[in-house]
Chains A and B, each alone.
Chain A
Amino acid sequence: MSDQTHVHTGHDLAPGEEEQHSVGERILGYVVGLALALLLTATSFFIAGTDLVWQPSIPVALIVLAIAQMGVHLVFFLHITTGPDNTNNVLALAFGLLVVFLVVGGTVWIMSHLNQNMPPMDQIMPMRR
């Protein structure tokens, strides 16, 4: 991206390769991440079993919590940031998400349409009547 791409020490760092932070700061980061991850996990288990909230909202709540969990992992453990040192990692993540979205979404869509030209017998029989 920039003109100063060097052979060994580029701007771009591999995940977890920060140099500037001290050990104390890094441990603090991991502890905060762990606490958040545990909190989100505990909340998920609590919500799954509770009847305090409107029942149909539970699956949605679990999906939101799961996505938040992924975010916590990416930020605190995989060290994905928005800084200029992280362009490649963010792009790789975006490409991965795009491919997963295309393949999983496409698969669900395709598989739910596969019987369109050949409905099962029990659907053909009512049609005949």
Chain B
Amino acid sequence: MLGKLDWSAIPFDQPIPLVAGAVVLVAILGVLIWVVVKGHLPYLWHEWITSVDHKRIGVMYILLASVMLLRGGSDAIMMRIQQAVAYQSQGYLPPEHYNQIFSAHGTIMIFFVAMPFVIGLMNLVVPLQLGVRDVAFPTLNSVGFWLTATGALLVNLSLVIGEFARTGWLAFPPLSGLSYSPGVGVDYYAWSLQISGVGTLVAGINLVTTVLKLRTKGMNYLRMPMFCWTTLASNLLIVAAFPILTATLAMLLLDRYLGFHFFTNEAGGNVMMFMNLIWAWGHPEVYILVLPAFGIFSEVVSTFSGKALFGYRSMVLATMAICVISFMVWLHHFFTMGAGPDVNAIFGIASMIIAIPTGVKIYNWLFTMYGGRIRFATPMLWSVGFMVTFIIGGLTGVLVAVPPADFMLHNSMFLVAHFHNVIIGGVLFGAFAGFEYWFPKAFGFRLDERWGKAAFWFTFLGFYVTFMPLYIAGMLGMTRRLQHYDVAAWRPWMIVAVFGMAVLSIGVICQIVQLVVSIRNREALRDRTGDPWDGRSLEWATSSPPPVFNFAFHPDVRGEDAYWDMKIRAQQQSLEHEEPEYHDIEMPKNSPTGFVCAFFATIMGFALIWHIWWMVILGGIGAFATFVVFAWRDHDEYVIPAAEVAAIDRVNLEERRSLVSMAGAI
């Protein structure tokens, strides 16, 4: 009846996951009860859960990423403490639990923190920057978000029901095969990634189509803001690379469920094929994450230097070059696994070449700042911090791209330090810069600068104190994923790293405090003009938060930096004050399709993990029926009458006129 599921699945003998699970459960129940008692449920359902508005979906993506960041961060703290205490002892985490923690940490941080964070920012900003009212497929967008949430839910469920994979974040066979991982851990891993992978693919198709097909008047390709270009490149990579991940995990699941032999040691299987395929996805994935971050830094650096982006066209070229070359380097993740010098040399050289377009970008940002009037607001601090940190991470990356060096450093703590150096210094700093930069656009008030700056400095310094010692430990020969060790020379560096982790955690706490303080002082921090940073691209040309239709009129773009251009023209020509003629606007109706689909997908995923076959069929039929109902819908749009558009737009127009006339007076 319940497949493999029985009471032994609940880890009653392990206090840590049980207590953590209980606390989270109580918190979730508390929030739910509060929502229901206060009567917020209808609001949440109509305005958020069923919303197909790209801005709301973007905010929900970022919320999911932030919550999961706390989960992945707690895993990180536990690992650092374990390695600080587990010198010539077992530490406080038993091996099977420690292995689950490092697997969950990697899986969560990449798939459920970094991915939703950048996809959320792209969703929120790109249609605004392109000057359009929505993304290409609004309901599909909502489906994509909820399927990602399903994956996150399943991963977290493994904390209290059953176990998570003990295989590392990429679940290499034969360790992840049935003979060495007979439990449900790898199944949790694989099914949650399969389900959220569908969500990511859908988001990628949606955003590629949006950039290619929906642009406002005059917004040709070479006038798009840099963030739109990096979004295009990143989503092209999603569309090209994620099917490889899905196919690879599907083969692993066939091995585990139906006795196939794709990646087994016997019957003609080849475990190296898994390694090859997963990294053919895995390396483009790195650029899927970091390209949008590069776009964010381009926007932030140009805005806060008060200058157009230096070398815009070279930046576009560099982005697209990275997009293609990222598919030519994947073997550098397994230099040591048997390939000869021809193969290793070619992939090593390709890996070094991909550093060139990235270097071009760094110089472009530096020259954008050169001679500019730089304002060191919080987003700019994150950007400068990124440049310094990312250069170090990039240099160690070029070092491990040299095959002989890689033979020494492969799977060492040096590698761990390197990829945290580029992912924290690149993706996470970028996500935080984007968060600080676009928060006023999403909610209509700025974030508190004092707490924001404190958060930056604690995170920045904490990062160095945590990860520089790991480089040294790697040089001293420490391998990654050690549950305990007996080498005295490594110990001091592990203790320094745990102090760094404490500083880093203060940074995260500052960020939470910043959010709370800003929400409490929101009236003082209110931005009425919609342009709090003196921005250059079209998202600042509408109110904050933007109305559901984004723009009352499609903006007319005449050059790069569209909104900057408009502001200059408005000052020179003294704004004409006659009332524009408003029209009705059609917008897509909200739809529960995404939520209902994800509900059935969750049931199906859970049932597949535990081999509860009747429930698999139930979930599958439910998800398909939801799709059919949506496909046969009659009306999917509603009309906002011209009078309502006018009423909403007039308020913002008035604020803007006063701003322009004030600027003119100075």
Contacts and interface: CB of A to CB of B under 8 A. Distances in A.
Contacts of A5: 215, 217-220
Given A102-B327, A116-B339, A12 B213 contact: yes
Given A110-B339, A111-B270, A1 B216 contact: no
B200 to A, nearest CB: 17
A117 B213 contact: no
A96 B258 CA distance: 31
Interface in B62-92: none
A48 B339 CA distance: 36
B338 A114 contact: yes
B236 A113 contact: no
B129 to A, nearest CB: 14
B268 interface: no
B173 to A, nearest CB: 15
B576 interface: no
Nearest to A87: B212
Interface in B310-330: 324, 327-328, 330
B465 interface: no
Interface in A93-129: 95-96, 98-99, 102-103, 106-107, 109-111, 113-118
Nearest to A96: B240
B280 A107 contact: yes
B26 interface: no
A111 B216 CA distance: 47
A118 B338 contact: yes
Interface in A46-94: 88
A20 interface: no
Interface stretch (B271-279, B360-368, B466-474, B610-618): B271-279
A94 B207 CA distance: 19
A99 to B, nearest CB: 5
Given A88-B212, A117-B338, A110 B219 contact: no
B512 interface: no
B16 interface: no
A28 interface: no
A109 B277 CA distance: 13
A117 B339 contact: yes
A21 interface: no
A7 B424 CA distance: 37
A7 B338 contact: no
Nearest to A12: B213
A111 B277 CA distance: 11
A107 B272 CA distance: 10
Contacts of B338: 113-118
B580 interface: no
Interface in B289-345: 324, 327-328, 330-331, 337-340, 342-343
Contact of A114 (B244, B330, B337): B337
Contacts of A12: 212-213
A2 B220 contact: yes
A10 interface: yes
Contacts of A96: 240
Contact of A99 (B221, B327, B337): B327
Contacts of B280: 103, 106-107
Contacts of A111: 270, 272-273, 276
Interface in B242-270: 244, 270
Contact of A7 (B132, B240, B276, B328): B132
Q: How large is the interface on A (under 10, 10 to 19, 20 to 34, 35 or more residues)?
A: 20 to 34
A99 B343 contact: no
Nearest to A101: B327
B604 to A, nearest CB: 29
A93 to B, nearest CB: 12
A121 to B, nearest CB: 15
Q: Which of A88, A103, A110, A114 has the most CB of B within 10 A?
A: A110
Contacts of B331: 106, 110
A101 to B, nearest CB: 10
B624 to A, nearest CB: 25
A111 B331 CA distance: 11
B326 to A, nearest CB: 10
Given A7-B132, A116-B339, A103 B219 contact: no
A25 interface: no
B132 A110 contact: no
B240 A95 contact: yes
Interface in A1-28: 1-3, 5-7, 10, 12
A107 B276 contact: yes
Given A107-B280, A109-B343, A118-B338, A7 B215 contact: yes
A117 B276 contact: no
B220 A113 contact: no
B450 interface: no
A111 to B, nearest CB: 6
B277 A107 contact: yes
A7 to B, nearest CB: 6
B375 interface: no
Contact of B343 (A88, A102, A110): A110
B454 to A, nearest CB: 43
Interface string B198-224: 000000000000001111111111000
Interface string B228-243: 0000000010001000
A98 B324 contact: yes
B554 interface: yes
Nearest to A98: B324
A117 B220 contact: no
A88 to B, nearest CB: 5
A110 to B, nearest CB: 6
Q: Which of A3, A96, A118 has the most CB of B within 10 A?
A: A3
15 contacts: A1-B220, A2-B220, A3-B220, A5-B218, A98-B324, A107-B273, A107-B280, A110-B276, A111-B270, A113-B340, A115-B338, A116-B343, A117-B338, A117-B340, A118-B338
Given A110-B331, A111-B276, 17 more contacts: A3-B220, A5-B217, A88-B212, A98-B327, A102-B328, A103-B244, A103-B280, A106-B330, A106-B331, A107-B273, A107-B280, A109-B343, A111-B270, A111-B272, A113-B338, A117-B339, A118-B338
Interface of A: 1-3, 5-7, 10, 12, 88, 95-96, 98-99, 102-103, 106-107, 109-111, 113-118
